Amino acid sequence: MFDNDKIIWFDCCCPIYSFITKWRYVLRYSNRFWKFFVSVKLTVVLLLSLAVTSIVGTVIPQNENPAAYFRAYGEFVYKLFDLLGIFDMYHSWWFQLLILLLTINIVVCSIDRLSATWKIIFVKNPSFNLSRFRTLSQKEVFTGKQNPKELSTVYETVISRQFGYTRVEETDKGLCIFAEKWRWTRFGVYIVHFSVILLLLGGLIGSLFGFEGFAIIPEDEKIDSIRIRNTGQVRSLGFEVLCDDFNISFYDNGTPKEYRSSLTIIEHGKPVHKKDIIVNDPLRYKGINIFQSSYGKMPSGTLQNKKIHKKDPPEDITLNFASKKSGKAYKIKAVIGKPVDIPEGLGKFVIIEYRKSADFGGQNIGQTYMGILTPKDKDPVNIMLPLHFPNFDKMRRGAVVISVAEQKTKIFNPGEKSNQRYYTGLQITKDPGVWVVYTGFIGMIIGIFITFFMSHQRLCIEIVKRGKKSDVIITGTANKNKLAMQDRIKKISEKLINL
């Protein structure tokens, strides 16, 4: 009766208890969910699926121009692949789903086993099962010259040097020394799995709160915003980056040795940070990293004249229209102010002016045609066609990519620096998740090392009285690498014989 009352009391009045019962209730109903995700069979299936599907993205180039895909695969396959997200497969819903399933799998599996492992790991007085040790087939046996009591005190001091925990117990036949070490290494595998989760989490943080962009800065100029890769959006940095100087040096055989940009960070009009960056040695400021990524030569003329000139365009302008739908490209001659019809009914385009040096998001992009594109049934858009960045219009992701064909640029000649003005190409990124990922990296290495190469070792030295002498029987177990444990027992036995 009393017990029953107590339970009822707990049930109504103790919030923790009722929480647990409710939780159980939920658990029972999500039992199928749990059973599904707790299985290592699922892990094997998921890991193999990830391995196999990942191959696809290495065979089919990722994130290329749709027109190129269209040309390469034809309409039907293109549409099919596009639907399946094959052209950006590592970010497609089904690949992300596989990763999500793996994550749930790890979490569920870890929780499930952790409760059991926890009890094994955190015990004050480890229990030893003497009869289990006695049944072990591999044992070292010898005869000690003293009685069990004397031997055990000698042995215990020796053993305690190697093992963290020792205990002497009386048995039915004499004495027994138990020893063990590295119980905590049973935890290693959880460190590995937790690290996997950290890696994924860090990646998620990075993709949610970070960005990856690029900027081009001519020498002696500065920018305060960058272009985001893939989307082409402009993003403000919150400070300015000034390129004081760009230098390139070469080995004797002509291969590049070093690209070096001297950068200054300017905040509120004041220089706050200065650094020369080279590949592999970026500048980091306020969580934003600036990497040396490319370089180039400014078109001549911009050095002397940075003003906008409206009226001295090159005579011949040939425009290139690449249709995304058909993948075809059309070359058409154009004159400023005179609209041209784009083939395939893609609309009209007119060049309205030529600038010797145009500005885009705070960057100087050199000689540029400004134009207006009027797609069919849509509002006109402003288009910039910089001569030196033929892929510039791709970033707009429109139905047609417009560029200037047949530009007459000089071929770049390395080493020639006189009077030459360079621009530096910078990769600018922010990734707040990177420290989570790095923690995962370290955890993974440590965890794998512990899991593979350390084991929970238990030793049992039984000393049985036989007249004035004693029989000594040494056995031991390890949760991993049992062969090495046999060796260790042999060594210990050799040591103890000679005492």
Partner 1 sequence: MNSSVLLSITTFTYGLAAFLYIASWVFKKPLSGRLAFWVALIGVVGNTAGIIMRWVESYRLGIGHAPLSNMYESLVFFSWTIVIIYLVIERQYKNAVIGAFATPIAFLAMAYASMSPNVSDRIQPLIPALKSNWLIAHVITCFLGYAGFAVAFCFSLMYLVRTLTNLNLFSIQGRLARSKYLNLNIIMLIFNSFLAVICLIVYKLISFKTVYIIIAIFFLLLIQSLQLLIYFFQSIKRLHDLDRPGSHLLLSLIPIYNIYFNLVLLFKEGTRDVNQYGHPDQYSDDTAIGLLGILPIRRILDELTHQMVMFGFLFLSIGIITGAVWANSAWGSYWSWDPKETWSLITWFVYATFLHARMMRGWSGKRIAYLSILGFMAVIFTYFGVNLLPGLHSYGLG
8 CB-contact burial (10 Å; exposed 0-12 / middle 13-18 / buried 19+): exposed
Q: Is 479 in the site for partner 1 (CB under 8 A)?
A: no
Nearer to ligand HEM, 372 or 446 (CB): 446
Contact 160, 482 (CB under 8 A): no
Cβ 483 to ligand HEM, closest distance in Å? 15
Q: How far is the CB of 133 from ligand HEM (least distance, A)?
A: 22
Site membership for partner 1, residue 116 (CB under 8 A) = no
- 51-90: which residues touch ligand HEM (CB under 6 A)? none
- H or E element at residue 46: helix 40-59
Q: How far is the CB of 51 from partner 1 (least distance, A)?
A: 4
**Do residues 305 and 272 touch, judged by C-beta distance below 8 A?**
no
Residue from 185, 451, 470, 493 binding ligand HEM (CB under 6 A) = 451
Amino acid at 130: L
Question: Does the footprint of partner 1 cover residue 444 (CB under 8 A)?
Answer: yes
Contacting ligand HEM within 98-127 (CB under 6 A): 102, 105-106, 109, 113
Does 434 engage in binding with partner 1 (CB under 8 A)?
yes
Is 217 near partner 1 (CB under 8 A)? no
| DSSP string for 383-407 | EEEETT-TTGGGGG--SEEEEEES-
Q: Are 332 and 346 in contact (CB under 8 A)?
A: no
43 binds ligand HEM (CB under 6 A): yes
- For 434, residues 6+ apart whose C-beta sits below 8 A from its C-beta are 202, 206
Complex with ligand HEM: residue 42 or 336, whichever CB lies closer: 42
Which contacts (CB < 8 Å, 24+ apart) does range 354-359 have? 354/309, 354/310, 354/311, 354/312, 354/313, 355/308, 355/309, 355/310, 356/301, 356/302, 356/305, 356/307, 356/308, 356/309, 356/312, 357/302, 357/305, 357/306, 357/307, 357/308, 358/308, 358/384, 358/386
Task: Name the residue whose CB lies closest to ligand HEM.
Answer: 109
- Residue keyed to tokens 């080493």: 415
- Assess 342 for contact with ligand HEM (CB under 6 A): no
Q: Going residue by residue from 187 to 206, which x/- string records binding to partner 1, judged by CB under 8 A?
A: ----------------x---
Q: Name the residues that contact partner 1, by CB under 8 A.
A: 40-41, 43-44, 47-48, 50-51, 54-55, 57-59, 61-62, 90, 203, 212, 251, 253, 255-259, 278-282, 289, 291-293, 427-429, 431, 434, 437-438, 441, 444-445, 448-449, 452-453, 481, 483
Q: Name the residues that contact ligand HEM, by CB under 6 A.
A: 40, 43, 102, 105-106, 109, 113, 189, 192-193, 196, 448, 451
